Amino acid sequence: MKDYGLLIVDKPVGPTSHSVVNLVRKGTQIRKVGHAGTLDPRASGVLVLCLGAATRLSEYLSTSIKCYEATVRFGSSTRTFDADGEVTRRTGLSPDLKQILGLLPQFLGEIDQVPPPYSAIKIRGRKAYEMARAGETVDLVPRKVVIHRLEAKDYKAPDLSLVVECSAGTYIRSLAHDLGERLGTGAHLTGLRRTKAGPFTLHDAVPLPKLEVAFITGKWEQHIRPAADALPGLPEVHVDAPGAERLRFGHRIPREADAAGMAKAIGPDGELIAILEAVEGAPDWHPRKVFIG
């Protein structure tokens, strides 16, 4: 049984990311399963799951660039910045396309973004949404995020379809809210689909209903991807069985003279063994993170 690798899921609207993790734990009988970047229940799309030792890759995947297709509705703002929340302001106004296109470039690059009050960010040890639900004042400080791409895909007032490519930690709900504030119309997010997370796109993802059938038929292993796929930017260093054994115990292995930086060690079976780091002043690779026990 494959108990080490990646599972790229196309999550539908409805389930929480945590419930998908639990479903996969039950379906695979693998105890260690985690996601590399949550999706709200109202959002759909690419959810990257790490299985077994691959959970140690989540730090690399969770900080990767994400791409979304978002729908923003002008004319009203809500407490949660999406369609689930109580309306806090209603103008009934929609900006014209020229106004929108003139504003979008101002959100490109590194910006300060205030997260939604209904978010999982912790304030003095408590989650912001817990404080908000209790009627307490939620004061969230702006955070630096980077928006690499922001394009209007379609506009049929009051609904604007956007394509967003952004850094990890960017709240598309906040982006929708801020657009409405800047345009004076109010706005909130009504739809969100993640189309890419790091190197993985919707083309790589298995729809959740199809995965559930695979659990029933016992054919789920065909959907597991090699852990090495999470690190496409790192060069491969192929090691033999003795080299793999050395890495397993945290020992160095020889490095080519012209190799530098970081690399991924691939074992005789084609699986990711370790993330390697070149040792300064020595012709060796040092195992920075080992995935075999």
- Catalytically active residues, by annotation: 40
Q: How many helices (H) and strands (E) does the chain have?
A: 7, 19
Task: Reduce the DSSP state of residue 278 to 3 states and report it.
Answer: strand
Distance, in Å, from the CA atom of 102 to the CA atom of 94, rounded to the nearest integer, reads 15
Return the closest-CA partner of residue 70 out of 117, 110, 107.
107
CA angle 39, 40, 41 (to 5 degrees): 115
**Which tokens hold the place of 49?**
């799951």
Displacement of CA 171 from its chain's centroid (Å): 11
- Sorted by sequence, the CB contacts under 8 Å of residue 79 that are 6+ apart come out as 85, 86, 87, 88, 117, 118, 132
Between β-strands 187-197 and 43-51, what pairing exists: parallel, antiparallel or unpaired? parallel
Distance, in Å, from the CA atom of 121 to the CA atom of 123, rounded to the nearest integer, reads 7
Phi, psi dihedral angles at 52 (to 5 degrees): 60, -135
